[in-house]
Structure 1
């Protein structure tokens, strides 16, 4: 096998220009597939990361949903949590909210804007101002560029604004990226808890189950109980929520779209394959003397077929490797313009090499088979 690969490489280097032009289609096709898969995988990773991951190993999430789009203030109460704790298989219950930010009204002079507001994060990159922790019941607030533009014509730093009747001082302005989501303002954790946390309803009950319990059965029993005695049963409905399943389905849809687009781009490899077949036909025609000599010295049809087939595969694999290298370069350039990071996965590289090999095998077989079936008598007559 090593000898055959060595012969194949020598044959390819004899006609560098012709073989490079043949590989060009493979290079472009593989580079395109690498770029598309990298962009798709990067986008999927960014979106699913934003959706968050959920540890559901020993937890069942019960969701309350309002029957009316105009009334969303209901949810689970402390009495509901106490009742759920008594359900067989449940160790303890924690109430939470699917909405992590509060709604508020901001006023500056005669301007009024409705915003989403949350407690200060650990890290926040500012475009103006200095980022410092807002301790205790601080009156400081960080606002987005969008809100600053809505309220102020010029510099917004150190200006006084009113949020739901409470006066705050603008300490900094942050930018919201294209692929990011942030509320319009951040206040200290203490201030958020004192003034705004009561606006967020507890529409989720996280049921932590015992190790010997069946989560599916626990979810059914808890849902049945809430439908019977839940304090908000008249204004809403109860159901078991599976956020990880939704995330997996969404990821699958994004991956399917990426693979479909990559398949469309990969059609160019068919054209490249035809070019490979053409150059292999020319190679076979040029080397009929070599084929005749090898046959005269005892080479079988299988030996001849394998030699030319290996040559076709090696040609395509070299093109595939160069295509992967160019794909890396193009992805690095593209990442400077994308709002997220395109990621080249090992799967994309393996797929590219597999496709390159397949193109060499499929489109190199017919010319190789023609060389193998050449009659020794006919070859000698030509000489």
Structure 2
């Protein structure tokens, strides 16, 4: 096998220009597939990361949904929590909210803007101003560039704005990228709890269950108990939430779209395969004397077929490797312009090499088979 591979490399090296032009289609096709898969995988990773990682092991989440938009203050109560804790297999119940932002109205002179706000994070990159951790009943506020443009024309820092009747001082401005969601403003944790936390209802009940408990049964039992004894049962509904399943379904949809586009781009490999078949036919025609000599010295049809088939595969694999290298370079260039990072996975590399090998096998088989079936008498007559 090693000897046949070496012979294949020597044969390819004798007609470098012709074989390179043949490989060009493979190179372009593989590089395109690598780029598309990298962009798709990078986008899916960024989106699912933004959706959050949910540790649902030994946990069951029950969601409350109001029946009308008017009942925005409903949710789970302390009595509901006590009812859920009595369910067999439930070790602890924690009430939380799926929405951690509050709505408010910001006013500057005659301008009024509806906005969202949240408590200040530990780290925040500012476009303007100096960032520091506001403590206590601080009247400082950090606002987004979009909100700043709606309220002010220029000289935003240290301006006074009114948020739901409370006066705040603008300490800094931050940028919101297309891939990372942020609210319109941040205030200190103390101020947020005092003025805005009452808007956020407890619409999630997170049940910590025993390791050997049946999560599916506990979820059904919890929903049944809430429908029967929940204090907000008349103005809302209860259901089991599975955030990981939603995230997986969304990722699957993104991957399906990516693979479909990659398949369309991979059609160019079909054209490249036809080019490989053509050059292999030419190679077989040019080397009929060599075939005749090898047959005369005892080479079998399988030996001849395998030799030319190996040359076809080697030609395509070389093109695939070069295509992967070009794909890496293109992804590095594309990353400079994308709002997220395109990621080349091991799966994309294995797929590319597999496709290259498959093209060589499929489109190289017919010319190789023709060479194998050449009659020795006919080859000697030509000489």
Identify the TM-score tier after normalising by the shorter chain: over 0.9
Runs of 4+ off more than 4 Å: none
Give deviations 1:80-113, integer Å, cap 9, x for gaps: 1111111111111000111011111111111111
Give deviations 1:315-334, integer Å, cap 9, x for gaps: 00000000000001111111
Q: For structure 1, which runs of at least 5 residues remain unmatched after alignment?
A: none
TM-score computed with the length of structure 1 as normaliser: 0.99
What is the CA–CA distance in structure 1 between the aligned matches of 2:157 and 2:70, rounded to whole Å? 36
Tell me, what secondary structure is at the counterpart of 2:231? Answer: coil
Superposed, 1:139-158 pairs within 5 Å as 139-158=139-158
What is the CA–CA distance in structure 2 between the aligned matches of 1:122 and 1:18, rounded to whole Å? 61
What is the CA–CA distance in structure 1 between the aligned matches of 2:117 and 2:81, rounded to whole Å? 27
What is the CA–CA distance in structure 2 between the aligned matches of 1:225 and 1:276, rounded to whole Å? 68
- CA RMSD after TM alignment: 0.7
Tell me, what secondary structure is at the counterpart of 1:93? Answer: strand
Tell me, what secondary structure is at the counterpart of 1:100? Answer: coil
The equivalent residue for 1:338 is 338
Aligned pair count reads: 383
The equivalent residue for 1:225 is 225
Deviation of the 1:167 alpha carbon = 1.1
Deviation of the 1:212 alpha carbon = 2.5
The equivalent residue for 1:99 is 99
The equivalent residue for 1:310 is 310
Give deviations 1:132-189, integer Å, cap 9, x for gaps: 1112221111000000000001121000111111111100000000111100000111
What is the CA–CA distance in structure 2 between the aligned matches of 1:12 and 1:122, rounded to whole Å? 61
Deviation of the 1:353 alpha carbon = 0.2
What is the CA–CA distance in structure 2 between the aligned matches of 1:153 and 1:23, rounded to whole Å? 58
The equivalent residue for 1:284 is 284
Deviation of the 1:131 alpha carbon = 1.1
The equivalent residue for 1:321 is 321
What is the CA–CA distance in structure 2 between the aligned matches of 1:378 and 1:33, rounded to whole Å? 44
Q: For structure 2, which runs of at least 5 residues remain unmatched after alignment?
A: none
User: Which sits farther off after the overlay, 250-259 or 65-74?
Assistant: 65-74
Give deviations 1:192-235, integer Å, cap 9, x for gaps: 11211111000000011112211011111110000001011011
The equivalent residue for 1:127 is 127
What is the CA–CA distance in structure 1 between the aligned matches of 2:69 and 2:344, rounded to whole Å? 42
The equivalent residue for 1:110 is 110
What is the CA–CA distance in structure 2 between the aligned matches of 1:336 and 1:20, rounded to whole Å? 30
What is the CA–CA distance in structure 2 between the aligned matches of 1:22 and 1:69, rounded to whole Å? 64
Tell me, what secondary structure is at the counterpart of 2:206? Answer: strand
The equivalent residue for 1:214 is 214
Give deviations 1:323-382, integer Å, cap 9, x for gaps: 000001111111111111110000000000000000000000000000000011111111
Tell me, what secondary structure is at the counterpart of 1:281? Answer: helix
Tell me, what secondary structure is at the counterpart of 1:310? Answer: helix
The equivalent residue for 2:202 is 202
TM-score computed with the length of structure 2 as normaliser: 0.99
